[in-house]
Amino acid sequence: MSLPTTILTMSGGVGHGLVAASTTEGTEGAIVSLFLIAASAALAPLLSSLTHKRVPDVVWLLIFGVFIGPSVLGLASVTEPISLFREVGMGMLFLIAGTEIDVQEVHGQAGRRSLLTWLVCFGIGLAVSWAAVAASGTTGVSAATYIALAIALTSTALGTLLPILMEAGVMGTTIGKAVLVHGAVGELAPIIAMSLLLSARSPWASAIILLVFAVASVVAVAIPTRFILKHPALGRTILHGAQTSQKTLMRVVMLILTGLMALSAVMELDMVLGAFAAGIIVRALAPGNFTMVEGELRTLGFSFLIPLFFVTSGMNISLSAVAGYPFLLVAFVGAILVVRGVPIVLLERFHGSIERVGWRDATRIGLYGATGLPIIVAVTELGVSTGVLPSWLASLLVVAGAMSVLLFPLLAFLLGRAGGKAR
């Protein structure tokens, strides 16, 4: 028995009081931080509206996170309870992103062309990362660092783009359909690449684990679903409860989400993969009730959990790192546009994922397709935790992702307004 433990044991009630006081203090700090995060979440959409949504809600959330975090005011911190909320918020974000994936669309010609384009983007990203590191004179950089940088430069923020596309009035148009396909591939492919290439295992071992995870996910969800289908009364009970305070359908969705996140954690895969897989499975299992499920998911996710994820992401940004490398930040924004945007522009101009379009519309699709943030946050956090990326570089990449959300859709909107009605 250690000396502190002995003292606490001998002191009886005094020791208990010390532990209780410490616990209470930690709880109070977490509650204060939660309040500030909730205040940020409430103010962000108001400021977004004041700017006519030219500065998206997610950008304001990151800005608030920076100001209340340790980099500026130091009013809030990512304590252990908040870290758990943050993981669930990230899970909700990628669950909703997964529900936006139309598997049939991805399997089609448009999906294959978009996947090929992403692979080209990834190759260019690797080359750009290598060239940048070589130009800096840095030596001893691992292959995983180049891979992490390439993944960060080639993602598309489908979940973030959806409200922006609806606001711009391009949903259902050729541009909107093309962006959705590129967005689906631009989220799915980086997540798989993270699981395969940034794991401590070899790529072949990771591929086997990934295959086992896919099979286990389907089995874990399909067997209970088949049981429900064989007992229609049980299914009716779940659907009836969905309209009451019991919210049975949403409870089942949350069971799937937490179950697949837990499965991915046990198999030492990134939990983003489990959340994304949960979204795809939920959409496949509830085609008749998907509109209701989607509405409730968005209410649950975007009211608090997802804003919390973005605010805490802002709290993790090192403002001194960003201020210390302004030219590198601009270079990252340009790299995202060149690596992800230009190949999409060329594909849409000369071949088309949905149909061939002119240079103006192709440029708009490329700008939307280069808009990335959630995957950038996920891959940089994984990179920092594994020692692949330094924290200052992760901060720069996250801010660059935020700037892509701020600038690229705005430029696409202005191009559309200059060229008339969307196709």
Residues 6+ apart with CB under 8 A from 264: 213, 270, 271, 273, 274, 277
Residue 17 confidence (pLDDT) = 46
| Core vs surface per residue 55-64: b (16+ CB within 10 A) or e | bbbbbbbbbb
Residue 2 confidence (pLDDT) = 41
**Phi-psi domain of 108 (left: phi exceeds 0; alpha: psi -120 through 50; beta: other):** beta
Q: Check the CA dihedral 280-338-174-371 and report its sign.
A: positive
Report which of 20, 32, 41, 45 is spatially closest to residue 78, judged by C-alpha positions: 32
CB 379 within 8 A of CB 335: no
Residue 252 confidence (pLDDT) = 79
Residue 18 confidence (pLDDT) = 42
Residue 1 confidence (pLDDT) = 41
101/99 Cα distance (integer angstroms): 5
Report which of 90, 129, 89, 408 is spatially closest to residue 272, judged by C-alpha positions: 90
Residues 6+ apart with CB under 8 A from 126: 146, 147, 150
Q: What's 391-405 look like in SS3? A: HHHHHHHHHHHHHHH
Residue 122 confidence (pLDDT) = 94
Helix (H, G, I), strand (E, B) or coil at 318: coil
Calculate Rg over the CA atoms of the chain: 23
Break the chain into its structural domains and give their ranges.
80-419
65/72 Cα distance (integer angstroms): 10
Residue 43 confidence (pLDDT) = 93
39/335 Cα distance (integer angstroms): 34
188/349 Cα distance (integer angstroms): 24
Tokens of 315: 């709290």
CA 352 from centroid of its chain's CA atoms: 27
Residue 21 confidence (pLDDT) = 44
Residue 337 confidence (pLDDT) = 94
Helix axes 391-419, 326-336, angle to 10 degrees: 50
Q: What is the pTM of this model?
A: 0.78
Segments of the chain with pLDDT less than 70? 1-26, 102, 104-106, 200, 220-248, 286-290, 419-423
**Phi-psi domain of 172 (left: phi exceeds 0; alpha: psi -120 through 50; beta: other):** left
44/304 Cα distance (integer angstroms): 12
70/241 Cα distance (integer angstroms): 44
**Phi-psi domain of 169 (left: phi exceeds 0; alpha: psi -120 through 50; beta: other):** left
DSSP string, 72-115: TT------HHHHHHHHHHHHHHHHHHHHT--HHHHHSHHHHHHH
Q: Check the CA dihedral 213-214-217-222 and report its sign.
A: negative
Q: Check the CA dihedral 139-145-151-152 and report its sign.
A: negative
Residue 109 confidence (pLDDT) = 82
Fold of 80-419: Na+/H+ antiporter like fold (1.20.1530)
Residue 232 confidence (pLDDT) = 63
Quick: pLDDT tens for 194-203: 888 887 677 7
Residue 22 confidence (pLDDT) = 45
62/315 Cα distance (integer angstroms): 8
The end-to-end CA distance of the chain, in Å, is 74
Residue 20 confidence (pLDDT) = 43
Phi then psi for residue 243, to 5 deg, are -90, 0
CA atoms within 13 A on the CB side of 127: 9
178/46 Cα distance (integer angstroms): 30
